[in-house]
Structure 1
Amino acid sequence: IEKKTKREDDYLNAIGAFYTDHKTTDHATRCNNFVKAMEKLYTDYPDDPEAGIFYALALNGAANPADKTFEKQKKAGVILDKLVAATPEHPGIIHYIIHSYDYPELATLALPAARKYASIAPSSAHAQHMPSHIFTRLGLWEEEIKSNIQSTESAKCYAESTGIKSHWDEELHGLDYLVYGYLQKGDNVHAKQQYDYLKTIKEVYPESFKVAYAYAAIPVRYMLENRLWKEASQLTPHTESFSWRPFPWQKSIRHFGRAMGAVNTGDLSAAKSELKTMNILRDTLVNQKDVYKANQVLVQIKTVDAWINFKEGKTDAALKLMNEAAALEDNTQKHPVTPGEVLPARELLGDMLLQMKKPAEALTAYEASLKTHPNRFNGLFGAGMAAELSGNSEKAKTHFQQLVSISGGSERIEVRKAKSFLSKYNSL
């Protein structure tokens, strides 16, 4: 083996900056140390595309999810956009472009990369899946679904070819996105097929963060999106053999689903019991100094508390809590592990306002949610109903038309109601 070159030494020192004093230095500080080291490398080797790629990766890794200026992500995107022009088939560049722009405000910038990525690495499950991050952000459900069908099939092939005796964790990651896409089209037939398939999965390798998320989120999504409150209140762990201890955030999702089911079936005692468990799980995350996940659980806690207050007739307290939940969620970006919140807090605020017979305020909430969660089935239906009830027929037409457009042959009652309104509107 030849002696290391100066360039190789510089790369090793740059990544070493991330691991220096790792036992005593917090993650954010180490990420910023890596950024500084990669910035110097990028400056020292201006003709080295890999220096630019890894500098962009460092910037994305150090980005604060609460920073709505997206300073680091935009900087990474500018670097990568220049590099991809010179090397359009480089999978790493395309991958990091998608991560850089994986935000509602930036997602359109990554759409060309998303549509190209799958063809660059057709046998890679993750490459097939990654474009769906952008398709989800933009509400392009047909493309999102196609991406994750290909991803889950690739994951199965990988598991078989490498001798993995169980399911590979990448399959479940794609499965969560796939179910989400079907639900947003109102396609309960295919969503239920995938949910039933999930129930047959008992072993996954490795038992990772994204496996825990898929196990928790898919059943809750299916129940809550379809307002199957009784079934939601009775949700149990996917499999007894899976250890939930390392995953308090994901575990809280199931308790959130059970709590929302209990609230909407009138069992407030059960809802309060679930709320207590959620607070314990949040305390665990606080003690672990995991602020991001602790806040994700806090959004769920405030949401459940809001609906308990609402059912108890304490409307002022309910609205205060629901607005707090929505504001907290607005100020925090979703984690890449998930296609979206199980139910967006601002959409739930719209639901609450609609039940309070405040349709104009509900419409404002729904439309605000749709700006960051475009083409969500329940968001569009809620906006259409709120517009109709507040006497805004034009907006009702717009939202109901969009709902019918994305839902294809869905047999959900909401689609029938939308079509009924449009039929009456068009006959005027």
Structure 2
Amino acid sequence: MRPIRHLLVILLFPFFLITMACKEKVPKPNPALAFIELQRGELLLCGSGQFGEVDFSLNCDYDVRDAFNLAVSLLHSFEYDEAEKAFVKVIDADPDCAMAYWGVAMSIYHALWSAPESKDLEKGAFVLEMAEPLSKTAKEQDYLNAIGAYYKDWKTIDHKTRAFLMEQKMEEIYQKYPDDTEAAIFYALALKSTADPGDKMHTNERKAGKILEAIFPDKPNHPGIAHYIIHNYDNPELAPMALTTARRYADIAPNSAHAQHMPSHIFTRLGLWEESIQSNIRSASAAQCYAESSGNEGHWTSEIHALDYLLYAYLQQGNTEMAKEQYNYVKGIKKVWGNNATVSYPFAAIPARMALENKDWDMAATLETPITEFDWKKFPWEKSILHFTRALGSANKGDLDTAQNELAILKTLQQELVQLEDEYKAKQVMVQLKASEAWIALAMGNREKARNLMLASAALEDTTEKHPVTPGEVVPANELLGDLLLAIDKPKEALDAYEKSLKRTPNRFNGLYGAANASIQSGDLEKAKVYFEKLLEMTANSNSDRPEVTEAKMFISKSIS
């Protein structure tokens, strides 16, 4: 039985808008549509079909404007398949609506997700070619030129360069049409899509956030504004600025699985575990509703993505029982549909979290690669998580041969990412690699080498930022550094490491416990009390059976008496 109950019903009312609007006119379908595989069919919208308020139809036929705006609303909440279907419906009803072709191309782009595959790029480029001879305003041509900059020469120019070209075009539109709300919103999205993950000043994100915050008061129910504020402020420094918006977005687009999930990015950043849990329960339910109505076999990727965040939050509450329920549920999933790049991460991270968060070294050392229909060879970063977990588990068990074997695989995967010129993921695996070497060195009795390697791992992670696909690293490097420093009797250094980790990832269960333990060993009982009290606050409603909670209660009880 699924751990999240089916909550919503399917209502397919949006096509009533198109059907009624066009009942007295017989459009002439664009014959070129027959040569490409477009998303078609009735929209699958759970609940009442509310996705926020958008007004952006420009020069399209008046009769299809409501349908067009619904399509843009779906696009803004990353409901890409349904957005494409909605834009295609508009094209069928009004083949001369140039912006509907723009909408299809935008639905294929997926600005903040993995780059489209070749077949999708080919489709997007072809759709834009179909729009070229159509009559259009100067502004519509500008919008088509902007997305066209991404698709042009896609066979010879890399994704990153084309994304930058599109951002530049969107900036021109933003400057040229200062009263165009959608120009500002899509420019803010483009800024986020090209932001440097190593930029600790968050230059693009701050610029985008400022643009969005300026227009939000006049458009309080616009899904894109709220959504992109959350994405741009999804980092430790800016997250507090997005809390109010995070609490509003789900109500703006209540029938979007992604809109229900997105607030948990901010809740996770701030350690608000109960709010994250409720957000992802709603998101997974909406995703299940969508999957069941789609006719596709298996589970939709949005559900698995939400469950990774859900399990993570349960683990921070020390709620092993509920975390294990999600873990067992995901373990039983063999078939998924949607974006495999989105689901490959949680398939690797969920079992790794169960082992590492509970310090179950037997489970960690023998972690198996999940059996799914997609090829793990295509996902070296995600695959590295499994080998990293096995390396840590084996090192902590004293099985050095297995640990060394896993380390060798990590090195191979890291080099593979270097060759693929995926700098971000190569760096993430290097963080894991150095941490694995550190714990192997400790198991071999070389304490100083272990300390230096773990310091290097933590320092490298400090220069990076977590990927949006994950609620957090399977174990933060600074937290792991604290664990190692405690193991070599350096409690004051360990406390510094834990506190640094908690600043970046607040209210983590193991971070709070580690900081309390390091405080005791450093002789600072008052600070230990503060951390233990925080740990008990985090776990108060979870009926946690973790021994750390029992230890915290005993310490607080003794300090009171």
> Following TM superposition, by how much is the alpha carbon of 1:300 offset from its aligned partner in structure 2, in angstroms?
0.5
2:158 matched to 1:158?
no
Query: Separation in 1 of the partners of 2:203 and 2:335?
Result: 41
1:88 corresponds to: 220
Select the structure that is richer in helix.
1
Query: Separation in 2 of the partners of 1:343 and 1:175?
Result: 18
| Aligned partner of 1:280 among 409, 412, 417 | 412
1:383 corresponds to: 515
1:426 corresponds to: 560
Query: Separation in 1 of the partners of 2:545 and 2:369?
Result: 29
Residue by residue, what CA displacement relative to the aligned partner does 1:200-233 show, whole Å, maximum 9, x if unpaired? 2111103611211111000010011001101111
Within-5 A mapping of 1:115-154: 115-154=247-286
Partners of 2:499 and 2:515 within 8 A in 1: yes
Residue 377 of structure 2 aligns to a residue whose secondary structure is coil
Greater Rg over alpha carbons, structure: 2
Query: Separation in 1 of the partners of 2:154 and 2:194?
Result: 15
2:456 corresponds to: 324
Partners of 2:482 and 2:514 within 8 A in 1: yes
2:495 matched to 1:334?
no
Partners of 2:335 and 2:372 within 8 A in 1: no
Within-5 A mapping of 1:220-369: 220-239=352-371, 241-369=373-501
Structure 1 length as normaliser, TM-score?
0.98
Within-5 A mapping of 1:32-43: 32-43=164-175
Residue by residue, what CA displacement relative to the aligned partner does 1:91-146 show, whole Å, maximum 9, x if unpaired? 11111000010001000111111001111122211111000000000000000010
> Following TM superposition, by how much is the alpha carbon of 1:410 offset from its aligned partner in structure 2, in angstroms?
1.3
Residue type at the aligned position of 1:124? S
Q: Quote the RMSD (CA, aligned, Å).
A: 1.1
Residue by residue, what CA displacement relative to the aligned partner does 1:325-355 show, whole Å, maximum 9, x if unpaired? 1011111000000000000000000000011
Query: Separation in 2 of the partners of 1:301 and 1:208?
Result: 25
1:415 corresponds to: 549
Residue type at the aligned position of 2:306? G
Residue type at the aligned position of 2:473? E
Closer/same/farther in 2, CA of residues 110 and 238 from structure 1, 3 Å limit: same
Residue 341 of structure 1 aligns to a residue whose secondary structure is coil
Residue 549 of structure 2 aligns to a residue whose secondary structure is helix
> Following TM superposition, by how much is the alpha carbon of 1:14 offset from its aligned partner in structure 2, in angstroms?
1.3
2:530 corresponds to: 398
Query: Separation in 2 of the partners of 1:276 and 1:207?
Result: 29
Partners of 2:340 and 2:374 within 8 A in 1: no
| Aligned partner of 2:155 among 8, 18, 23 | 23
Residue type at the aligned position of 2:207? K
Residue 335 of structure 1 aligns to a residue whose secondary structure is coil
> Following TM superposition, by how much is the alpha carbon of 1:17 offset from its aligned partner in structure 2, in angstroms?
2.1
Residue type at the aligned position of 1:337? V
Residue by residue, what CA displacement relative to the aligned partner does 1:67-100 show, whole Å, maximum 9, x if unpaired? 0111110000000001111101011111100001
Residue type at the aligned position of 1:391? G
Q: Which stretches in structure 2 are left out of the alignment for 5+ residues?
A: 1-95, 98-134
Residue type at the aligned position of 2:416? T
Structure 2 length as normaliser, TM-score?
0.75
May I ask how many residue pairs the two structures share in their alignment?
A: 427
Give aligned-pair identity as a percent.
56
> Following TM superposition, by how much is the alpha carbon of 1:152 offset from its aligned partner in structure 2, in angstroms?
0.6
2:12 corresponds to: none
Query: Separation in 1 of the partners of 2:277 and 2:323?
Result: 11
Residue by residue, what CA displacement relative to the aligned partner does 1:333-387 show, whole Å, maximum 9, x if unpaired? 0000000000000000000001111111100000000000000000000000000
Residue 281 of structure 2 aligns to a residue whose secondary structure is helix
Residue by residue, what CA displacement relative to the aligned partner does 1:135-192 show, whole Å, maximum 9, x if unpaired? 0000000000100011111100001112122110100000100000000000001000
